[in-house]
Amino acid sequence: MTARTHDLAAITALGVVFILRPSATITLSTAIVAVLANLIGGITPDIDQPTAPLWRNLPIGKYFGRMFGMLNGGHRFLTHSLVGLYLFGLAAHWFLQLVHPITGSVDLDLVWRAFMLGMLSHLVMDTLTKEGVPWLLPIPIKFGVPPLKRLRITTGKAGETLLVFPALILFNIAFYFAHYHQLLNILHRHIT
Ligand SMILES: [Zn+2]
């Protein structure tokens, strides 16, 4: 899937968890940083592509991208697996501990969870594509839904832009419409 779809999927997942399992209180700064972390998590597994947005926006990012791709074993390998998720979870946790002294009132536990949710949503979305996802590495099998490859989506093609992306938007509209009161309630009670 493209970065645009991954970001939308990440923020969709975050919204659903935020509404259905609201945390006791959340500061506005935590909410903003959590959304950013969620969006970054949503595209992080694709840092194994030399053309990933992260690398494209850095001056010599293309070379870093290639290098990382080789270390990772090529596209859709380690960063697209549960082991990769675990390792990135540890790395993100370590990074957040490091910046903890300068983050003030930001709840880093929520930020970490938002990041992980973004990453998880990425793997789920890529599972819908023809290429599939090697969830259980080192077992080298790529899983896909539906199991019949022919019925799956090709990244960037009509199936994604005309079906998956609009479906996610429609889902968001329907979801927030159905949970409008919960949303208002949470915004009033929980954001401080
Ligand atoms: Zn991917």
Tell me, in angstroms, the distance from the centre of ligand 1 to residue 176's CA.
27
Name every residue whose Cβ is closer than 8 Å to that of residue 66 and which is 6 or more positions away in sequence. Answer: 50
Question: Contact, 40 vs 115, CB < 8 A?
Answer: yes
Determine the pLDDT at residue 49. 78
Distance between first and last Cα of the chain: 36
Tell me, in angstroms, the distance from the centre of ligand 1 to residue 164's CA.
15
Distance CA 104, CA 108 (A): 10
The residue range of the domain holding 28 is: 3-189
Determine the pLDDT at residue 137. 93
What is the value of pTM for the model shown?
0.88
Count structural domains, the chain: 1
Tell me, in angstroms, the distance from the centre of ligand 1 to residue 59's CA.
22
Tell me, in angstroms, the distance from the centre of ligand 1 to residue 87's CA.
16
Determine the pLDDT at residue 71. 63
Tell me, in angstroms, the distance from the centre of ligand 1 to residue 177's CA.
30
**Predicted confidence band at 24 (pLDDT cuts at 50, 70, 90)?**
confident
| Model pLDDT for residues 131-161, shown as the tens digit of each residue | 999 999 999 899 999 999 999 999 889 999 9
Q: What type of residue is 172?
A: N
Q: Which of 17-31, 32-46, 93-107, 111-125 is predicted with the least confidence, judged by mean pLDDT?
A: 17-31
Tell me, in angstroms, the distance from the centre of ligand 1 to residue 50's CA.
12
Q: Tokens representing 148? A: 């019949």
Q: What type of residue is 71?
A: L
Asked if the peptide bond before residue 101 counts as cis, ω within 30 degrees of 0, the response is no
| Model pLDDT for residues 40-94, shown as the tens digit of each residue | 999 999 988 766 666 666 666 666 666 666 666 666 889 999 999 999 999 999 9
Contacts within 8 Å (CB) and 24+ apart, 109-113: 110/23, 110/26, 110/30, 110/34, 111/30, 111/33, 111/34, 111/37, 112/37, 113/34
